[in-house]
Amino acid sequence: MDVKRLLTFRAVARVRSFSQAARELSLSQPSVSQQVAALERELGVPLLDRRPGGLQVTRAGAVLLVHANAVAERLTLAETQLAEIAASERSTLRVGAFPTALASLVPAAVARLEGARVIVEEGGSELLAERERAGDLHVAVTFQDAAEPRREPSGLERRDLLREQFL
């Protein structure tokens, strides 16, 4: 059973008008009528009595309408829950860093974010670059010996934060 057709039927049954349902759904009236007719053909029963005085929901239509309302409620709940997850994901920062940075640089930076949710992961430079490239991290704090040729991780943007002499 096509969910779009089911929800279209629900709108028509609620307002008892193809034209008004079409306006509410931002569809053409013929499109709404065709969707309901296709649903009736698929199910093998009439869902609406089309009379000169208006539309009436049939016995089969009344049964289906109960289920259509439940489906609509579940879809609305799913949209709400997914929006909450998306908002949570957007407000979560995933940071990877080498051990020394986790002890010094990262806590100071995180403290400045004021209430943001931060997930921290420890690792070496190559692993962290790989995790960032894969989308598992938003930021990777890595290091490179300044005496070696500059390395640019493929597919990532490198920003030098500081230079420190190794002793």
52-to-8, 31, 49 alpha-carbon distances in Å? 21, 20, 10
Burial of 39 (0-12, 13-18, 19+ CB in 10 A): buried
Question: pLDDT below 50 — which residues of the chain?
Answer: none
Backbone torsions φ then ψ of 90, nearest 5 degrees = -70, -30
What integer pLDDT is reported at residue 70 of this predicted model? 95
Rounded to whole angstroms, the Cα distance separating 42 from 2 reads 9
**Does the predicted model carry a pTM greater than 0.85?**
no
Tracing tokens 């016995």 back to the chain, one arrives at 59
Rounded to whole angstroms, the Cα distance separating 127 from 17 reads 61
Q: Is 165 left (phi over 0), alpha (psi -120 to 50) or beta?
A: beta
Rounded to whole angstroms, the Cα distance separating 49 from 12 reads 12
What integer pLDDT is reported at residue 166 of this predicted model? 67
Do the Cβ atoms of 133 and 155 come closer than 8 Å? yes
Assign 141 to helix, strand or coil.
strand
Do the Cβ atoms of 116 and 138 come closer than 8 Å? no
Do the Cβ atoms of 95 and 141 come closer than 8 Å? yes
